[in-house]
Amino acid sequence: MTHTIHHKILLSVIITLLCCFFDGAIHIGAMAEKKSERSEEKEMIIAVVAKRGKQKSIDKWQPTADYLTAHIPGYRFTVAPYTWAEIREVVSKGTADFVLTNPGMYVEFEALHDVRRIATLKNVRLGRPYTSFGVVLFCRADRTDIQNPEDIKGKRLAAVNETAWGGWQVGWRQLLELGIDPYKDLDELTFAGSHDNVVYAVRDGTTDVGNVRTDTIERMASESKIKMADFKPIYINREYGDEFPFWLSTKLYPEWPFATATHTPMELNEKVAIALMSITSDSVAARSGLYEGWTVPSNYQPVHETLRMLKVTPYERYGEITMKAVLLKYWKELILINLIALGMAVAAFYFRRLNLRLLKTQNELQLASSDLQEKNRELEQTLEQVKQMQDQIVMQEKMASLGALTAGIAHEIKNPLNFVINFSELTGDLVNDLKEELEDVKDALSQETRDYIFEILADMFTNAGKINEHGKRADGIVRNMLDHSRGQSGKSQTLDVNKFIDEYVQLGYHGMRGSDADFNVDIQTDYDPDAASFEVFPQDLSRVILNIVNNACYAVREKEQQSGDSYTPTLIVSTKKINASIEIRIRDNGTGMPQEVKEKIFNPFFTTKPTGSGTGLGLSMSYDTVVQVHKGAFEVESVHGEYTEFTIVVPDAISS
């Protein structure tokens, strides 16, 4: 009996050990599989400027990186914080895949390293989201000797960092506009390293005036670090009214952008943009980052304008052409040419791996029903963003169809035009032949009859010449329509820029007359003779000129309908050669634009025209063509109800 009991106990122990062994093997296998999957993920580095310390930057932004990792299979996103100097080196070497920094530094990276924005931050301040910010100039409330901006002269001023956007450069521009040169008119200019340090310096009396980004003082007061009653703003900008509740001394500029490096795949950029815009305000990422979410990229042209005005990086030599700049441009293009073949091979390999991952993901989704339900809820949140992208694709297809239609119409017109030109020349030849025949029989006719016949023949010859002349002119316009319909950059050509621009101004004007026969406009020109021979890309430049002239004609026609006979629609077109660039100005006396419209006109798909009258893509594409493709400048000035003037600066194609 005892022997049997021992057997049973021994058998029980053996079974227990086997179960433990198999459970451990299964657990180890599961861990190995999970580790294998993680090892297949590609790490993507998000470089962040650590304005308040590296650990604080990680605490603030790593949850956002974790959100991207969770929503984009096959990638692991990691935040890497850097100082001002370190992040410049990292971006220049291309070791970061994405960049999160202030607008001024982003514009620097955009100009020098082709970094591109994909989303703009909706920053939460005092419980509300904002997509823009500015700077406040302030002092202690008990400083009776500082009442207005003029009193800043001869005083001490503290800012964050000499290259900081909100920490100095925005305030610097405002001081210049107020008639104060901080590098000449101040007794002392110091940089404290952080916004909080600037506020403490003003509070403790170690400096007289402080320069910090908006909401800094309000934030520090809410954190009980300071009392707002101890400070006062020196200058208040009331342009934005109650829409912006913080102390503000400057204009508002767009918030921090989430940007991508040139080597980051476009498909991944799209996924990251969609994922960012799907972040909700109650998520861990938003709460840690102190933001409500992300929105479509803002217009950073005002930032470009400020840096150009200050002549700081990347515009420290704006308007100058140096040998170093020329070599730098050629060096980048040579590197680009060498990388194209490698990029195509990498892209093909990447797409193959992406397809395999997609198939694997689909199989996993079919097996994991509970996970599928969660994915469905997330897809509902991003459905609107996907729909917007689809609408953009449809619009691009429509524009492509329009180009094909234009080419077809031009071809159809060209055939009868050839007949008109050829038969006009033949008519002239027949008139000359008829004159020769009449010479042989003129003695049989009376003097009065001969004079009448020869007068008719002279009129016929003149009319045939005019038909031939205008037929050839129409043929030239058709050729330009065919070139324009191809929709891509052609080869550069040396041509008479003045004649070229005048032709496309006339083409735009007559295009408007084609839809409104009663429309007229007084076109005034001032062409620089030195611009007669210049190397440009005709196809690109023609599209830009047509877009601006079409908008100008639309604006003056709208104003004419509002003003009546007392108003004369006018276009003023001028050219000027500046060093190795051509400056083109097109000004109309139409309806003009309010400030809020002017700030958005370069955004894709933004238009103030009624539905069906415009796509909102003309000025956006023109801006990209001039600024991004040809490294030129594209600016606009406008007064609502008075005028709009576009200024285009195009560098010589040989030196670009």
83 C-beta neighbours (distance < 10 Å), count:
14
CB-based contact 552:511 (threshold 8 Å): no
pLDDT at 171 over 90: yes
Residue 311 confidence (pLDDT): 92
* DSSP letter string, 638-652: EETTTEEEEEEEEE-
* Cβ neighbours for 381, distance < 8 A, ≥ 6 positions apart: 278, 280
614 located within any domain: yes
464 and 533 fall within a common domain: no
Find the CATH number of the domain harbouring 114.
Answer: 3.40.190.10
SS (H, E, C) 280-329: CCCCHHHHHHCEEEEECCCCCHHHHHHHHHHCCCCCCCCCCCCHHHHHHH
91 located within any domain: yes
621 and 553 fall within a common domain: yes
pLDDT, mean over the chain: 83
| Residue closest to 568 by CA, chosen among 524, 538, 598, 626 | 524
Residues β-bridged to residue 583: 576, 649
Residue 397 confidence (pLDDT): 53
Domain boundary among 443, 469, 487: 487
Domain count across the chain = 5
Backbone φ and ψ of 238, nearest 5°: -100, 15
183 and 266 fall within a common domain: no
Residue 28 confidence (pLDDT): 43
pLDDT at 5 over 60: no
556 and 646 fall within a common domain: yes
CA–CA separation, 301 vs 547, rounded Å?
19
108 and 158 fall within a common domain: no
| Both tokens assigned to 553 | 């004609």
414 located within any domain: yes
pLDDT at 121 over 80: yes
Domain boundary among 487, 508, 534: 487
Dihedral-angle region of residue 193 (phi above 0 means left; psi in -120 to 50 means alpha; beta otherwise): left
538 and 640 fall within a common domain: yes
513 and 628 fall within a common domain: yes
| Both tokens assigned to 394 | 């449809």
CA–CA separation, 248 vs 267, rounded Å?
39
537 and 602 fall within a common domain: yes
Helix count and strand count (H, E) for the chain: 18, 21
pLDDT at 17 over 70: no
Find the CATH number of the domain harbouring 642.
Answer: 3.30.565.10
Q: What is the pLDDT of residues 195-251, one digit of tens each?
A: 999 999 999 999 999 999 999 999 999 999 999 999 999 999 999 888 899 999 999
pLDDT at 639 over 50: yes
441 located within any domain: yes
431 and 446 fall within a common domain: yes
First and final CA of the chain: distance in angstroms?
101
Find the CATH number of the domain harbouring 428.
Answer: 1.10.287
Q: Which domain covers residue 642, as residue numbers?
A: 490-656
417 located within any domain: yes
25 located within any domain: no
pLDDT at 477 over 80: no
- Segment 604-622 shows an average pLDDT of 71
Q: What is the pLDDT of residues 391-400, one digit of tens each?
A: 555 555 555 5
470 and 498 fall within a common domain: no
Residue 1 confidence (pLDDT): 44
pTM recorded for the entire structure: 0.45
Residue 190 confidence (pLDDT): 97
- β-strands 98-100, 42-49 pairing: parallel
27 located within any domain: no
- β-strands 643-651, 231-233 pairing: unpaired
CB-based contact 214:134 (threshold 8 Å): yes
468 and 388 fall within a common domain: yes
Residue 24 confidence (pLDDT): 46
pLDDT at 347 over 80: no
Q: What is the pLDDT of residues 283-325, one digit of tens each?
A: 999 999 999 999 999 999 999 999 999 999 888 876 665 555 5
4 located within any domain: no
Residue 92, judged by CB atoms within 10 A of its CB (0-12, 13-18, 19+), counts as exposed
Binned at pLDDT 50, 70 and 90, residue 401 comes out as low
- Segment 421-430 shows an average pLDDT of 83
521 and 654 fall within a common domain: yes
Q: Quick one: how far is CA 560 from the chain centroid? A: 32
In the numeric block, the tokens 């590098």 are attached to: 183
